[in-house]
Every structure is written in C-alpha cells, then in structure tokens.
Amino acid sequence: PVKNDRLEMMLQALDENEMNIFQRLLNDFVVNTLSYYDTNGREPEKVYQAFLLGMLISHGAYEVSSNRESGLGRYDILLRPRDLGGRGFIMELKVYDPMFDESVDKVLDSALAQIEKKQYAATLHAAGVRDILKMAITFDGKRVWVKTTE
C-alpha cells in the first residue's frame, strides 16, 4: 500500500475525536483531489461518499460498510470497530445547496436528526458496540463541514 502521512493523520484525528483536524484534512483532500466537474452532477453526494469510503477503507481498525439497512433506514457510512470495545461511527453525508438550504448548520443538524430518527445505530448496538459517534458531514463544492454527537 502507498503510505500517505496526511491520510494517516486524518484517520488518527477521527480515532482521537479531533474533529477540527479531521474536517480540515478531509477538506484539503477534497480541494486537492476532486474537480468541480466531479461534484456537479445530479447526485454529488455519491461522489463524496465513494471518495470518503476509499480513504476510510484503509483504516484497519474498522469494518467499513456503506448504504446498508440498519434500524429504520439505510446509513451512508458505518465504521464498526474490529475491537468491540472501540468506538463505532455512523456518518450521514449531505450536500449543502445555498439556493435551497437555509444554512450549513441546519443541514448538519438535519443529518444528525436523521441518524437518530432512523435508528442507524441499531447495527452497532446489535454487534455489542456501546461507544458510538454520530457524524454529519456536509459538502458544498470543495468545502466540507463536520458536526458530531454521541
């Protein structure tokens, strides 16, 4: 595998709940890797999701899955710790559209509310994972915002 110190730093920030660092590094990856044309289609969320999955899959401490049924719906990304005493993550991705959305914060809050309402943590609870971080990740072109709740 190719070693990428910035990717390792981003994944370490995720592990250590350093969301400002995680957000900044993810934003750097988006800015330096994706083109406006990559994210300008009808479903840009899928591009961001595939991009993020590609980075997360390299983290050996987690089983990474996408778009699977859990609770009352399908989560975007779920990281189940291989060590069940570790922290699990549920990520809900949203695209912010300034023409239609009131604010980035409203979109982030909507994503976190969706995780709760649809009970996406059910899969992790069933696997015995008790420490779960719920993450809203919102994109607008090459800008990224992250908000979390336990």
Task: Give the Cα separation of 53 and 86 in Å (integer).
Answer: 20
Dihedral class, residue 57 (left if φ above 0, else alpha if ψ from -120 to 50, else beta) = alpha
Q: Is the pLDDT of residue 2 over 50?
A: no
Structure tokens at 42: 């009808």
Q: What is the mean pLDDT of the chain?
A: 90
Query: How many separate helices (H) and strands (E) can be counted in the chain?
Result: 5, 7
Q: Is the pLDDT of residue 146 over 90?
A: yes
DSSP 5-28: HHHHHHHHHHHTT-HHHHHHHHHH
Buried b / exposed e over 34-45, threshold 16 CB at 10 Å, is beeeebeeeebb
* 15 contacts: CB under 8 Å, gap ≥ 6: 61, 87
Task: Give the Cα separation of 15 and 103 in Å (integer).
Answer: 28
Position 126 scores a pLDDT of 95
Number of structural domains (the chain) is 1
Q: Is the pLDDT of residue 3 over 60?
A: no
**CATH code, domain carrying 111:** 3.40.1350
Task: Give which of 102, 104, 112, 115 is closest to 136, Cα–Cα.
Answer: 112
Residue 141 belongs to domain spanning: 5-149
Residues paired with residue 91 on neighbouring β-strands, in sequence order: 77, 135
The stretch 76-86 carries a mean pLDDT of: 93
Strands (E) across 1-128 are located at 62-66, 69-70, 73-74, 77-81, 87-95
The stretch 21-48 carries a mean pLDDT of: 82
pLDDT tens for 47-60 read 888 889 988 998 88
pLDDT band at 62 (very low <50, low <70, confident <90, very high): very high
Burial of 100 (0-12, 13-18, 19+ CB in 10 A): exposed
